[in-house]
């Protein structure tokens, strides 16, 4: 099932998304993960499995596996590139900011680089969940790793 052809994103942005989809960064599973969570988006059928390692209050490593549309997979790939090495509060701030941005809310976050290519998704409400799935799943994984609900 592919509805990607219905998306009329800027051509340049589309190239960035397709590149991440074809050559996903940090694909796989973290060895001895602090937490591993699977997210599912029934609207599109996207599945993403996020595993993380935390050390010294930082997201030391984050990997993903899964199957889904190009938006979801590219978003997961970009997310890992953006967030690995950041402190946990910074990671959470970025997740909240990205979520707000895609929902068209006020966002204090400066989105730069490849991530910028996903901002256009907010014009396609059906695909917002695709782009957000890896981020909300990572959010859950961090909570799980820290023993929070
Ligand atoms: Zn999707």
Tell me the CA–centroid distance for residue 57 and ligand 1, in Å.
31
**Alpha-carbon dihedral of residues 63, 69, 75, 76, nearest 10 degrees?**
-10
Domain boundaries, the chain: 3-145
Which band of pLDDT confidence, cut at 50, 70 and 90, is reported for residue 9?
low
Tell me the CA–centroid distance for residue 1 and ligand 1, in Å.
10
Q: Is the model more confident about 52 or about 115?
A: 52
Residue 45 zone, left/alpha/beta (φ > 0; ψ -120 to 50; rest): left
Task: Give pTM, 2 decimals.
Answer: 0.90
Length of the chain: 149
Tell me the CA–centroid distance for residue 55 and ligand 1, in Å.
31
Q: Dump pLDDT digits (tens) for 73-119.
A: 999 999 999 999 999 999 999 999 999 999 988 877 778 888 888 98
Report whether pLDDT(131) > 90: yes
Report whether pLDDT(123) > 90: no
Q: Is the model more confident about 147 or about 6?
A: 147
Query: What's the CATH number of domain 3-145, 3.90.1010.10, 2.60.40.10, 1.10.1660.10, 3.40.50.970?
Result: 3.90.1010.10
Residue 8 has a pLDDT of: 59
Residue 111 has a pLDDT of: 80
Tell me the CA–centroid distance for residue 104 and ligand 1, in Å.
19
Report whether pLDDT(1) > 60: no
Tell me the CA–centroid distance for residue 42 and ligand 1, in Å.
9
**Alpha-carbon dihedral of residues 136, 138, 141, 142, nearest 10 degrees?**
-100
Which band of pLDDT confidence, cut at 50, 70 and 90, is reported for residue 120?
confident
Distance CA 71, CA 142 (A): 23
Tell me the CA–centroid distance for residue 126 and ligand 1, in Å.
8
Q: Which two tokens stand for residue 83?
A: 């967030």
């Amino acid at each position: 099932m592919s509805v990607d052809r219905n998306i009329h994103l800027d051509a340049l942005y589309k190239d960035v998304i397709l590149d991440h989809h074809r050559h996903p960064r940090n694909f796989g599973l973290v060895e001895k993960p602090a937490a591993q969570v699977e997210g599912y988006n029934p609207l599109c059928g996207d599945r993403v499995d996020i595993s993380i390692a935390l050390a010294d209050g930082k997201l030391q490593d984050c990997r993903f596996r899964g199957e889904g549309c190009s938006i979801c997979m590219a978003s997961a790939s970009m997310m890992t590139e953006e967030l690995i090495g950041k402190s946990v509060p910074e990671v959470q701030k970025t997740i909240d900011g990205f979520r707000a941005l895609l929902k068209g809310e006020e966002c204090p976050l400066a989105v730069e680089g490849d991530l910028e290519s996903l901002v256009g998704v907010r014009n396609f409400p059906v695909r917002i969940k695709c782009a957000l799935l890896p981020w909300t799943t990572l959010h859950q994984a961090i909570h799980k790793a820290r023993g929070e609900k």
